[in-house]
């Protein structure tokens, strides 16, 4: 089960905060610089805006935002190895193709790292 979703500012929206909260996932999203607290915002988004406006570095450390580079590195490696696109047309097959590529990447890592 996914407990936390660490995302960059391109995912900063009320809809994403609401969806993740509804699914029981802690949203760790860097909000835009011009973000403001509003009554119409999701409560977690308002809390995040306040924390980031107060001390961005402290927020990053408190929510482990600094771990995002690990995921970005893996994505980059997978793209270099298999390309940036999937060849499947059906959505279900796209998911299977991505799972296969990530499984192969994990297997390659296990046999090359000693």
Q: Structural domain boundaries of the chain?
A: 4-63, 69-112
In sequence order, the β-bridge partners of residue 27 are 5
pLDDT at 28 exceeding the cut of 90: yes
Please state the separation of Cα 52 from the chain's center in Å.
17
Query: Would you state the structure tokens that stand for residue 56, as one six-digit string?
Result: 């961005």
Q: What is the mean pLDDT of residues 80-99?
A: 95
pLDDT at 113 exceeding the cut of 80: no
pLDDT band at 31, cuts 50/70/90? very high
Dist CA 78 CA 72 (whole Å): 10
Please state the separation of Cα 1 from the chain's center in Å.
15
pLDDT value at residue 114: 59
């Amino acid at each position: 089960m996914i407990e936390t979703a660490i995302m960059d500012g391109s995912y900063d929206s009320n809809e994403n905060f609401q969806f993740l909260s509804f699914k029981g996932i802690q949203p760790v999203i860097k909000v835009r610089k011009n973000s403001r607290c509003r009554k119409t915002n999701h409560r977690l988004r308002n809390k995040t805006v306040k924390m980031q406006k107060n001390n961005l570095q402290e927020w990053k450390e408190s929510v482990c935002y600094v771990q995002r580079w690990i995921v970005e590195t893996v994505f980059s490696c997978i793209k270099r190895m298999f390309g940036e696109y999937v060849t499947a047309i059906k959505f279900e097959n796209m998911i299977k193709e991505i799972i296969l590529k990530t499984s192969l990447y994990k297997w390659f890592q296990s046999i090359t790292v000693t």
